[in-house]
Amino acid sequence: MSLTFEHTTLGQRVLFGTGQAGENLASEIARLGAQRVMVIASTSQSAVAESITKDVDVALNYADVAPHVPLEKAQKGRAAAAELGIDLLVCVGGGSTIGLAKAIAMTSGLPIVAVPTTYAGSEATNVWGLTMDARKTTGVDDKVLPVTVIYDARLTLALPVGLSVASGLNALAHCVDSMWAPRADPINQTLAAEGIRALNRGLRTIKRDLHDRDGREETLYGAYLSAVAFASAGSGIHHKICHVVGGAYNMPHAHTHAAVLPYVLAFNAPFAPEAERRIAAAFGSDTAVEGLSALRAALDAPTALKDYGLAEENIPEAAQLILPFIPASNPRTVTVENLEALLTAAWSGTTPGL
């Protein structure tokens, strides 16, 4: 077998330990020599942020966070950081919170320490996203990659089972998309496959027992692997669809990813046999679609975009908005017609089979 590929691994420090977030954060701030720390956490995560920063001298606690990072929110955050001479951003929360920290870092160059409380995975990527006039723009910039990620499964215990499932399936979508993304290679595909295995086990455990520590840890581990694979492989068809419709129609990020994933997998799998084989093997199933379907059934996963804000009459417009962003390397040729068919099936929640 002859292999030829180019692979980039992003440099980042990862500290993983249940119950150790506060200790790890304090030591990391000291290691970085930060004096003016801005802690970004939504109102719902303020108690968590306070609990892990009690031994930290915080210059600014900041809670003006919104999904999809509206540009005006980014500008306010940037101004607040500049006014107080902030030298380190600490974000505690999910994708929206981490996204705001990235938006600030993108223009300021400030380092980020990320403390995730969901399985979004943004903490391990150099991908940013901003929304303006109902249109979401994403890009890649190494300045937005957090220098350190602190994982603590205890911080995810407040996630109810429904959000745990949606967030975990968002992570799973990173793995699946990494199998055929523009820079897919044997290394990030291997990381993605291990991520699928971990998420398949961990999410099933969480569904059975919301407070199971092993399940939480395994799901966090899988979410990290999914993000590393995604950061290396790039953004494929699934993420282009979800980023566009999420920003255009103000849909919840994790639930949108969870609902769209089976339709993208059914759409691409017949045209990517090697990727399909890897995904099926990671699930321990005969086919990739069967493996994902079995997991989704066990989790009672989100099934239809109509439940999360997409109107049926918006589907033709959505397809037109998405099409220019679909990577040319996608294993199946994408047209407005088959994209509309995919979105219609995902909107209604019909059985995937495109």
Q: For residue 253, name the pLDDT band (cuts at 50, 70, 90).
A: confident
- Distance, in Å, from the CA atom of 149 to the CA atom of 24, rounded to the nearest integer, reads 10
Query: Of 2.40.50.140, 1.20.1090.10, 2.30.40.10, 3.90.1150.10, which CATH number belongs to 161-348?
Result: 1.20.1090.10
Mean pLDDT computed over every residue of the chain? 94
pLDDT at 288: 97
- Distance, in Å, from the CA atom of 165 to the CA atom of 254, rounded to the nearest integer, reads 9
Give CA separation, 234 vs 5, 41, 138, 253, 342, in Å: 14, 27, 12, 18, 22
153 φ/ψ angles, rounded to the nearest 5 degrees:
-60, -25
Of 278, 130, 293, which Cα lies nearest the Cα of 196? 278
Q: For residue 9, name the pLDDT band (cuts at 50, 70, 90).
A: confident
Lowest mean pLDDT among 36-50, 132-146, 209-223: 132-146
pLDDT at 350: 85
Give CA separation, 124 vs 37, 129, 131, 150, 302, in Å: 20, 14, 21, 11, 25
Place of tokens 């380092």: 111
DSSP string, 277-309: HHHHHHHTSSSHHHHHHHHHHHHT----GGGGT
pLDDT at 353: 56
- Distance, in Å, from the CA atom of 123 to the CA atom of 149, rounded to the nearest integer, reads 7
CA torsion 80→85→88→89, rounded to 10°? 0
Q: Tell me: pLDDT of 307 over 80.
A: yes
State what percent of residues in the chain have pLDDT above 70: 99
Tell me the mean pLDDT in the region 215-230. Answer: 96
pLDDT at 340: 96
Tokens standing for residue 81: 């950081």
Of 172, 235, 171, 165, which Cα lies nearest the Cα of 204? 165
| More reliable by pLDDT, 88 or 11 | 88
| Domain ranges across the chain | 13-156, 161-348
Q: Are 90 and 53 in contact (CB under 8 A)?
A: yes
One fold for 13-156 and 161-348: no
Q: Are 271 and 332 in contact (CB under 8 A)?
A: yes
Tokens standing for residue 333: 């040729």
Residue 133: how many CA atoms within 13 Å on its side-chain side?
0
pLDDT at 324: 96
Residue 318: how many CA atoms within 13 Å on its side-chain side?
29
Q: For residue 352, name the pLDDT band (cuts at 50, 70, 90).
A: low
Q: Tell me: pLDDT of 325 over 90.
A: yes
Q: Are 94 and 81 in contact (CB under 8 A)?
A: no
Tokens standing for residue 75: 């500008």
**For 70-88, what is each residue's pLDDT tens digit?**
999 999 999 999 999 999 9
Q: For residue 265, name the pLDDT band (cuts at 50, 70, 90).
A: very high
Tell me the mean pLDDT in the region 94-100. Answer: 94
**For 30-48, what is each residue's pLDDT tens digit?**
999 999 999 999 999 999 9
Q: Tell me: pLDDT of 2 over 80.
A: no
- Distance, in Å, from the CA atom of 148 to the CA atom of 105, rounded to the nearest integer, reads 14
Q: Tell me: pLDDT of 354 over 80.
A: no
- Distance, in Å, from the CA atom of 145 to the CA atom of 148, rounded to the nearest integer, reads 9
Q: For residue 138, name the pLDDT band (cuts at 50, 70, 90).
A: confident
In the chain the beta strands, taken as DSSP E runs, fall at 13-16, 37-40, 58-62, 88-93, 112-116, 127-132, 135-140, 148-151
Tokens standing for residue 57: 């001298």
Tell me the mean pLDDT in the region 249-259. Answer: 92
Give CA separation, 127 vs 29, 138, 140, 301, 316, in Å: 23, 7, 5, 26, 27
Q: 13-156 domain in CATH 3.30.360.10?
A: no
Quick one: CA dihedral 335, 336, 339, 345, positive or negative?
negative
Q: Map residue 58 onto helix, strand or coil.
A: strand
Place of tokens 């990659």: 145
Report the b/e string of 252-262 with b at 16+ CB within 10 A.
bbbbbbbbbbb
